[in-house]
Structure 1
Amino acid sequence: MVRVVGLQWRVRCVLRALGMIIVGGSSVAVAQTATSAPWLCLSGSNTIGARLAPRLVEAFAAEQGMLRDAIEQPSLDETELRFSKDGQRYLVHLSFHGTGTGYTALRDGQCDLWMASRPANADEAARLGGDRLRSAEQETVLALDGLAVIVHPDNPVRELSRQQVQALFTGKIRDWSALGGRAGRIQLHARDNASGTFDTFKNLVLLDQPLSPRATRYESTDALSAAVSQDSNAIGFVGLGGVGTNRALAIRDGDLPALAPTHFNVATEDYALARRLYFYSRAERREVVEAFLAFVQRPTAQSIVAATGFVPLALEHHAVALRPDAPAEYRELIADATRLSLSFRFGSGQVFLDSRASRDLDRLAEYMQTPEQQGASLILVGFAERAEFSPMVTIAQSTDRADFVARELVRRRVPVRHIRGYGPALPISDAEGDGARAKNRRVEVWIRPPERES
């Protein structure tokens, strides 16, 4: 059934590319002239496409002065929205059969935007523009999400290590009593292979281990979440927006402190299973695509991100309880300061910013120029991964990263009061894989109110 639906969707996209739409099972030509209304096609992640993308499209269309005429679902994983303005019709088609299908649609020119709940891999990037695909020019982070490991609300287990989650989903642990829970055979629930959620789970949890064949697989996040909510022995994984009535477990890396998938822990990407949600586009794109990508970064769109259950890119600051192993100098440096909900991250041994960070610099500059933050001061604290260099070199590297961020902020007329690097101190991940280790290569941003400055 999934393959048939996927084929039907591809036929529909090809017909649209030829200037046709499907109405009542037959094709009707639509004039594609210089004066005809633009349309959008988005394909890929179920996590994005099921609820978030349609809401963003509706808000974008309303901002353009359009009226929504109809919303239809030709299949479980497709949505069509029809708008009109000044007598012209506008069609937006969304297909959300999984992140992998969106890559194919963008590569083949069938859709404008690839919705992805994981970053493009090296092979995909090579086929769609090389390094440019991962640049701010073609990669847009529209929201953040946490991969939540969910259990029934009656399950007494409150936290697991990443290694325990792996052992569960590979079938090495089969009874809850082995984890301090009530005796009972563990029932596994997982997304299907086309899902970006499953790709993320493989990369962050399973690594090179196969998923247990006992797991029940789902194309839909909602269906998986509903199944877990009906079985006290069940466990599954979903995006934050799919937790529903279930309970999300706190996750730890090895012996490091466990973190719950709170919005703040996900926003800073300190949570072990945090992930980004992406739109990918071609380098050459139509004006309506440019306008939509700009729209999703603005406060109106980010409020929709929050209302849909994901974590917005908007900045906020929180008082944070420091870990017992925090260096004394670090404690003194950030005394009376609160932490902002972003961290700048870097490649191994490198000092450059990714597509999210380049936009976060602008967001941070705007935030610091609001009346509420006048006179407040920024503190930048850099960290490195212990495997990058020798201990002394990692301190220099972490300081260089903080200096780099400071220079970019000064270019935006935002002064920085304190800059310090602490090398490999306070790691937040000890998992294998560059994506997990990259969490340690970071610059934290702290803010101190003006009355606390001397």
Structure 2
Amino acid sequence: MAAWLIRIAWFLAALAPLSALSAAPAHAGDEPERLRIHGSNTIGQALMPALVEDWLRALEYTGIRRVARAPARLEIHAEREGMPLVVEIDRHGAGAGFDALVQGRAELAMLARRPDRREREAGWQLGDLASPDQEFLVALNGARVVVHRDSPLRRIDLAQLRALLAGGAHDGIGSPRVQLGPAAGGLEEFLRERLTGGRPLRPAALRRHRDLRSAALAVADDPAALAVVELGTPLPQGVRALAVSDGGLAVAPDTVGIRSQDYPLVWRYHVYGGQMMSALGRSLALHSITPRAQRVVRAQGLVPMGLAPAAAGADPAALPPAYRDAVDGAARLPLTLRFNLNSLTTIFESSSAQELERVAAWLQQPENRGRAVSVVGFAQADPHNKLFAMTTSSNRADIVAAWLIERGIPVRRTRGLGPLRPLAGGDGEWARLRNERVELWLL
């Protein structure tokens, strides 16, 4: 059984005493137990209530009902064997939610971004927020840049998109008429944070629409238009999405690009808890990354974290020879493993540690047992030492291969390809985090 399933079972067992304590009906004056989840409006508006209700049903709570306490505060009430429970979902924003977690006014915080340096410093007592036991990636969303089918554009770089949305000079993409949705919302916040340093979006030629679907429809009627919409926005006939680059490889917003987070306009929906979070809080957090909960994520129009079947292999003729040899005859699993050398608990980024558990569970299913994988590593280029990238990529691939082999998963090939196929340009920490990665290919 995968480790995360074991942890879930342990915490469900830890909740069992609640049932024993509730053998007699609760007195009218008793204060019900309360689980407080604060943070992002984007997550808290629809996704989190749906996840909470699914979690409560999984724990055999009954009488589940929603009670609105304020415009940005919802309570979900439920009962099990006479013991009431109230789950409080407050969506006053990621910053307010993280502060509530630090101050002990919430057990869990919802963030559609990573905590910034100031927040991490303020929350030092929470423990290792990069740990897979405290940081839970529950869903993915993202932005698609769409154009008319007759547009000459096939790709766009983030630098070009940044200049376009800021109203500055932009080379190579002409002067498209930009179509955007409402100025308030998760997509707008993401674009400001990712591209304009928090400043408002001010393209030279801008038209706002009542919703993102209308923005996409406007592109279908205008060959000179360009819209930025969410991944779940329905696209009308006559439009197509552009591949997007970040100074490196241009990646399409397809299943592999999104699920692997190689596509640069993906944003994450996280849940955070402290190292001493309550049993109820940890139970909900662990539930949120289970296959059952990820079906709820999909139903909300978001990208789930469950491991999909292997994607079709890339066109071999389009691959560099070393890469082609490493993945010959294989199909890529839609994920990318990344590393966090600053974590106190794992060498992997928290979501990558959770991905590895999913891979192990999937490959240990009877229908997949015995299938082998090819492990392919990449690293950031070092202009002063060309061997460093090759050594680093091989080391990272070996680490992943050893992890898989320890769990009985056959590894047929392990390759380190150094700085081949970089996702991000530059030599800063962001580029290193993007370029130092491992892919898994199913043979």
Distance 2:316 2:182 in 1: 33
1:281 corresponds to 2:277 = no
Quickly say closer, same or farther: Cα 1:319–1:209, change in 2 above 3 A. Answer: same
SS of residue matched to 1:443: strand
Counterpart residue type for residue 142 of structure 1: V
Q: Give the structure 1 partner of residue 438 of structure 2.
A: 443
Distance 1:75 1:321 in 2: 50
1:204: how far off?
Answer: 3.6
Quickly say closer, same or farther: Cα 1:85–1:238, change in 2 above 3 A. Answer: farther
Q: Is the 8 A contact 2:180 2:229 kept in 1?
A: no
Quickly say closer, same or farther: Cα 1:158–1:397, change in 2 above 3 A. Answer: closer
Distance 1:105 1:153 in 2: 47
Higher mean C-alpha deviation, range 134-143 or range 158-167 = 158-167
1:378 corresponds to 2:380 = no
Q: Give the structure 2 partner of residue 228 of structure 1.
A: 215
1:299: how far off?
Answer: 1.0
Structure 1 residue runs without a partner (length 5+)? 1-28, 449-454
1:362 paired residue among 357, 362, 373: 357
How many correspondences in the alignment?
Answer: 406
Quickly say closer, same or farther: Cα 1:244–1:402, change in 2 above 3 A. Answer: same
1:147 paired residue among 124, 137, 143: 143
Structure 2 residue runs without a partner (length 5+)? 1-27
1:213: how far off?
Answer: 8.8
Q: Give the structure 1 partner of residue 196 of structure 2.
A: 206
Higher mean C-alpha deviation, range 254-263 or range 436-445 = 254-263
Distance 1:95 1:390 in 2: 50
1:326 paired residue among 295, 319, 330: 319
1:123: how far off?
Answer: 1.7
SS of residue matched to 2:136: strand
**Cα distance per residue 1:158-187 (max 9 Å; x no partner):** 65322221112101269x9934x5xxx535
1:423: how far off?
Answer: 0.3
Higher mean C-alpha deviation, range 78-87 or range 335-344 = 78-87
Q: Give the structure 1 partner of residue 244 of structure 2.
A: 252
1:311 paired residue among 300, 303, 307: 303
Counterpart residue type for residue 295 of structure 1: H
Alignment of 1:284-295 (within 5 A): 284-295=276-287
Q: Give the structure 1 partner of residue 331 of structure 2.
A: 338
Counterpart residue type for residue 394 of structure 1: A
1:94 corresponds to 2:89 = yes
**Cα distance per residue 1:290-343 (max 9 Å; x no partner):** 111121121100111122122222223111324866321321231111111111
TM score, norm. by length of structure 1: 0.77
Counterpart residue type for residue 31 of structure 1: D
Distance 1:407 1:261 in 2: 31
Higher mean C-alpha deviation, range 376-385 or range 324-333 = 324-333
TM score, norm. by length of structure 2: 0.79
**Cα distance per residue 1:353-382 (max 9 Å; x no partner):** 111122222211111111122221111000
1:107 corresponds to 2:94 = no
Quickly say closer, same or farther: Cα 1:260–1:223, change in 2 above 3 A. Answer: farther
CA RMSD of aligned residues (A): 3.7
Counterpart residue type for residue 293 of structure 1: A
What is the percentage of aligned positions where both structures have the same residue?
A: 30
Higher mean C-alpha deviation, range 319-328 or range 264-273 = 319-328
SS of residue matched to 1:141: strand
Counterpart residue type for residue 343 of structure 1: T
1:54: how far off?
Answer: 1.0
1:228: how far off?
Answer: 3.1
Counterpart residue type for residue 30 of structure 2: A
1:423 paired residue among 418, 422, 426: 418
Q: Give the structure 2 partner of residue 137 of structure 1.
A: 133
SS of residue matched to 1:356: helix
Distance 1:310 1:428 in 2: 24
Quickly say closer, same or farther: Cα 1:124–1:172, change in 2 above 3 A. Answer: same
